[in-house]
Amino acid sequence: MCVYGLIQLTVACLYLFVASLTDIKTREVPDYLNFSLIGVGFGLAALFSIFSWSLIPFVYSLMGFGLFFGIACLLFYSGQWGGGDAKLLMGLGALFGLPISSNVFNLWVSDVPFLFLFLFFSLVAGGLYGMGWLVYQLVVRRKKLFPLIRKKLDSYKKFRIVLYGILLLFLVLFFYVSNFASKLAFVLLAFLVLILFYLPTVVRVVEEECMVKETSVGKLVEGDWIAKNVVVKGKNICSSKDLGISLAQIKQLKKLKVKNVLVKEGLPFVPPMFVGFLIAVVVQVMF
């Protein structure tokens, strides 16, 4: 691993550590942290390009930023991530870059760019973290959540008939085939169908009951996700479909003397991102 690689890892570790603390404390990653990381990523790449008399490091930095910009936009506009998480991802893309071949300028592990390893392990850590949080809420608040889930599922009676029909078909096919691999495939398909049917409803109920809180307008910050439309005198001021509340909307709410709004809190995703980064570093050192 070259000096540039060590600098990349050190900078990323520091930024992810600070961002994790702020994300846990305030559920936000400040813009100054994200934009400074983007600047540092491009700046380091530019410096190394100058010292090495090659544009390759800077071009790779642009490619990494471009790739993670696309992924971040996809996650943000689909409502999966907040703006802070998305900007942080862009900054890490600019910092690590996306090399198209193994070379001394960037981190590589067994012919795989470190950027890909980081993304993979971050998503795995985030998925496990999310599922763990979901199970925890179901256990701790089971007396409140289970009746709501049952009520929600009762409204899907027609879909449940289709579900039972599909499961019955899998059961018939399970006993019809003799090959063990085929039997196992039908069992896995049955579990997959059950998960696809029940999980979205469970997640939606848990989100509505555990991730929505009433917040005073004075504490709102740009980018907060509104959980319920705010309508004043027949005029829709802000909507749950908005990609985060804007400063102009907050100013308008204050002008109209709206006291409180319902806000959806997201899970702090930067800590599992940091865990994914550390795992990727371990893999980098080992291989």
More confident residue, 159 or 93: 93
More confident residue, 87 or 264: 87
What pLDDT was estimated at residue 100?
59
Q: Convert 8-64 into a string of H (helix), E (strand) and C (coil).
A: HHHHHHHHHHHHHHHHHHHCCCCHHHHHHHHHHHHHHHHHHHHHHCCCHHHHHHHHH
Mean residue pLDDT of the chain comes to 82
Q: Tell me the CA distances in angstroms from 242 to 148, 236, 257, one per residue in order.
A: 26, 11, 21
What pLDDT digit, counting tens, does each position of 262-273 carry? 887 777 888 999
Q: How far apart are CA 65 and CA 95, in angstroms?
A: 8
More confident residue, 215 or 131: 131
What pLDDT digit, counting tens, does each position of 204-259 carry? 888 888 888 878 877 777 777 777 777 777 777 777 777 777 778 888 888 878 88
In this structure, is the dihedral angle defined by the CA atoms of residues 6, 7, 10 and 12, taken in order, positive or negative?
negative
Cα-flanking dihedrals φ and ψ of residue 106, to 5°? -135, 165
What pLDDT was estimated at residue 111?
59
CA-CA-CA-CA dihedral for 30, 33, 38, 42, to nearest 10: 170
Instruction: Please compute the mean of the pLDDT values over residues 166-193 and round it to a whole number.
Output: 84
What is the helix (H) or strand (E) element at residue 66, kind and residue range?
A: helix 56-77
pLDDT at 108 over 60: no
Q: Which long-range contacts (CB under 8 A, 24 or more apart) does 232-238 make?
A: 232/256, 232/258
pLDDT at 102 over 70: no
pLDDT band of residue 152 (cuts 50, 70, 90) is: confident
Q: How far apart are CA 144 and CA 219, in angstroms?
A: 28
